[in-house]
Chain A
Amino acid sequence: MLDNLSTNQRAAVLSVVMLVVGLLIWEAAIPAQKAASELTEYERLTGGGAPKAGVPPPSQVLAKAWEQLSNPFYDAGPNDKGIGIQIGYSIYRVLTGYILAALIAIPLGFLIGMSQVAYKAFNPFIQVLRPISPLAWMPLALFIIQDSEASAIFVIFICSIWPMLINTAFGVAGVRQDWVNVARTHELNGIKTAFMVILPAAAPTIITGMRISIGIAWLVIVAAEMLVGGTGIGYYVWNEWNNLDLTSVIFSILMIGVVGMLLDSAFGFLQRAVTYAE
């Protein structure tokens, strides 16, 4: 039956099968709460009738998802906002920090890639600063900036700058000398050479760095918002944990995954647009 389907179709069928099987196992693995009438008197006396907190079954998560996604932008006070608003705050912070990082990393990466001296001079700083967990900057950021919102943005900035910086420098340094010679024999000036030859030649590498950066930024924002609180998807997860609402926790985990995938595929699309075959 599967023989006359394409590879993609077969893969899709298999994905659906895995999803359904996984959900069924999950659903079946959750022990049902006993109804009060089935309990012995002793169990009732020792509090066995109270509902136990447990991992919710997928059916409950789906119901929660439906409820949340059908009204994503409601705002009923500081601790009760729709999922759309929370994700909106997170995306706003990620994009602000990320764009600031790109504005510095890409021109600086160009400079480092064009000049051996700059490369060697910057390299020790990059190598020391790059492996620092972005959250380690948080106390310092909070002290210096004195604003939790801006500190979260700074953390995003500092974590997304390195892959873009390194990839831009690497891409620019690796532009083939032949193409640079084409620019030289056509008397292109420095600016034109940068925009007409080096930028398109290095673009696939630069976009790869940007794609890695946005992935890291989205990982870090959740943790950063758990620390700074107030708004955002990271705060939402932590708040629902404090409410012991595991259904919402699982739902928001899934939403984090979906948004991360969308951000990544946007850059995947951009990457395909600038990639060239030699």
Chain B
Amino acid sequence: MSKPFLSIENMTQTFPDGQGGTLTVFEDATFGIDKGEFVCILGHSGCGKSTIMNILAGLAEPTSGVVKMDGFEVSGPSLDRGVVFQNYSLLPWLSTLKNVTFGVKARYPDWSKAKVEAHAREYLAMVGLEGDVVHRKPSQLSGGMRQRVSIARAFANHPKLLLLDEPFGALDALTRGTIQDELLKIWGGTEQTVFMITHDIDEAILLADRILLMTNGPFARVAESVEITIPRPRNRTDIVEHPNYYAIRNHLVQFLGQRSKELAGQQSGGEPQSPTRVVIDKTGPAPDPEPTTKPQLRAVND
């Protein structure tokens, strides 16, 4: 088995608990992401999703363990790893266009001014921001438009890995749907590797190739890796008709509602904690791609 594009090996994060001891958020987490893959991570608040995100972005250091991308260990933030923050993090004194050129200029310092601007406009247009609206300040945009700008800024930089930290968490359901579609469209054209945190099960199924499920903290771990066996291109109205949709959805709901608690608090004992691979496919007796792994259908009602 070849090394994945991004691999997280034995990553442990502890914080002081304020009473002289330490609080272990997660321990020896070990998983990988392949190039071009769209991976979502689901779990309850406090299980360390955002900590994992910050470590991948290079904004925080794990207590121990390594993150390797393309075979090299990463440390510190880098333009190779673009981040879309939940609160958009646009610079409010810059116009929409300037917020995107800010990133492009950082990424391609030797591009001409005209080239930078044309590139920024192209990516803004991909998320539906064209014309005079690009000269508005972020405060004059709706929440959905601000997140579009943030997504355009991240994609325009062509990062090797794109990190999305609950990008739609603060948006209403209708806007969220529209921007999810736009995200799928822009992602489809780039083969970008994406790692995304979300709380929304339907969003995760619509967007992801694979969903990582985390147990509750402390001593949280990435317990399962569920493959989304629904072919692309996906469409929110069609995927619910797919025979696998509710099987996968029920499995996820079961996990988050029940098993995330039951599996919580298990210490690793120093062993790497890799997620169990779960494939749910009801479309017929398809050949198992890797017959040596766990049973094809895990019990969903245990």
Q: Residues of A at under 8 Å CB distance from B?
A: 178-179, 181-182, 184-188, 196-197, 200-201, 203, 274, 276-278
B87 touches A178 (CB 8 A): yes
* Contact (A276, B103) CB under 8 Å given A185-B77, A185-B83: no
Chain B 77-93: CB-based contact to A (< 8 A → 1; otherwise 0): 11101110101010111
| CA of A118 to CA of B208, assembled, Å | 47
Interface residues of B in 74-116 (CB under 8 A from A): 77-79, 81-83, 85, 87, 89, 91-94, 102-103, 106-107
| CA of A179 to CA of B91, assembled, Å | 7
- A sample of 20 cross-chain residue pairs with beta-carbon separation below 8 angstroms, ordered by A number, consists of A178-B87, A178-B89, A179-B89, A181-B83, A181-B89, A184-B59, A184-B77, A185-B77, A185-B81, A185-B83, A186-B102, A186-B103, A186-B106, A186-B157, A187-B77, A200-B93, A274-B93, A276-B93, A277-B92, A277-B137
Chain A residue contacts of B103, Cβ below 8 A: 186
Chain B residue contacts of A197, Cβ below 8 A: 91
| Closest A residue by C-beta to B82 | A185
B77 touches A178 (CB 8 A): no
* Contact (A181, B93) CB under 8 Å given A186-B103, A187-B79, A276-B139: no
Determine whether B57 belongs to the interface, using a CB cutoff of 8 Å to chain A. Answer: yes
Distance of A183 from chain B, by nearest CB (Å): 9
Distance of A272 from chain B, by nearest CB (Å): 13
B89 touches A200 (CB 8 A): no
The total of Cβ contacts below 8 Å across the A-B interface reads 55
The 5 closest A-B pairs by CB, nearest first: A277-B139, A186-B106, A276-B93, A178-B89, A184-B77
Task: For the A-B complex with A182-B85, A276-B92 known, give 7 more contacts whose Cβ atoms are closer than 8 Å.
Answer: A182-B89, A186-B107, A186-B157, A187-B106, A197-B91, A201-B93, A274-B93
| CA of A231 to CA of B78, assembled, Å | 59
Give which listed residue, A181, A196, A276, contacts B102 with CB less than 8 A.
A196
- Size bin of chain B's contact surface: 20 to 34
Chain B residue contacts of A196, Cβ below 8 A: 102
Q: Residues of B at under 8 Å CB distance from A?
A: 57-59, 77-79, 81-83, 85, 87, 89, 91-94, 102-103, 106-107, 137, 139, 157
B79 touches A186 (CB 8 A): yes
Main secondary structure on A side of the interface with B: helix
Chain B residue contacts of A186, Cβ below 8 A: 79, 102-103, 106-107, 157
| CA of A188 to CA of B92, assembled, Å | 18
Chain A residue contacts of B57, Cβ below 8 A: 181, 185
| Closest B residue by C-beta to A277 | B139
* Contact (A200, B83) CB under 8 Å given A181-B59, A185-B57: no
Distance of B40 from chain A, by nearest CB (Å): 20
Chain A residue contacts of B137, Cβ below 8 A: 276-277
Distance of B99 from chain A, by nearest CB (Å): 9
| CA of A200 to CA of B91, assembled, Å | 9
| CA of A186 to CA of B93, assembled, Å | 17
Distance of B145 from chain A, by nearest CB (Å): 15
Chain B residue contacts of A188, Cβ below 8 A: 106
Distance of B80 from chain A, by nearest CB (Å): 9
| Closest B residue by C-beta to A187 | B79
| CA of A181 to CA of B78, assembled, Å | 11
| Closest A residue by C-beta to B78 | A187
A181 touches B91 (CB 8 A): no
Chain A residue contacts of B58, Cβ below 8 A: 184-185
Chain A residue contacts of B107, Cβ below 8 A: 186
A178 touches B85 (CB 8 A): yes
Chain B residue contacts of A203, Cβ below 8 A: 93
| CA of A278 to CA of B140, assembled, Å | 9
| CA of A274 to CA of B106, assembled, Å | 23
Distance of A200 from chain B, by nearest CB (Å): 5
| CA of A197 to CA of B90, assembled, Å | 11
| CA of A185 to CA of B59, assembled, Å | 8
Interface centre among A181, A184, A186, A196 (most CB of B within 10 A): A186
Chain B residue contacts of A181, Cβ below 8 A: 57, 59, 77, 83, 85, 89
| CA of A179 to CA of B138, assembled, Å | 14
Distance of B81 from chain A, by nearest CB (Å): 7
| CA of A277 to CA of B93, assembled, Å | 8
Interface centre among B59, B78, B93, B139 (most CB of A within 10 A): B93
Distance of A206 from chain B, by nearest CB (Å): 13
| CA of A277 to CA of B139, assembled, Å | 6
| Closest B residue by C-beta to A196 | B102
Distance of B216 from chain A, by nearest CB (Å): 27
| CA of A197 to CA of B89, assembled, Å | 12
Chain B residue contacts of A200, Cβ below 8 A: 91, 93-94
Chain A residue contacts of B102, Cβ below 8 A: 186, 196
Interface centre among A182, A197, A201, A277 (most CB of B within 10 A): A182
| Closest B residue by C-beta to A275 | B93
| CA of A179 to CA of B87, assembled, Å | 11
| CA of A199 to CA of B85, assembled, Å | 22
Chain B residue contacts of A187, Cβ below 8 A: 77-79, 106
| CA of A246 to CA of B85, assembled, Å | 66
Distance of A188 from chain B, by nearest CB (Å): 6
| CA of A110 to CA of B89, assembled, Å | 22
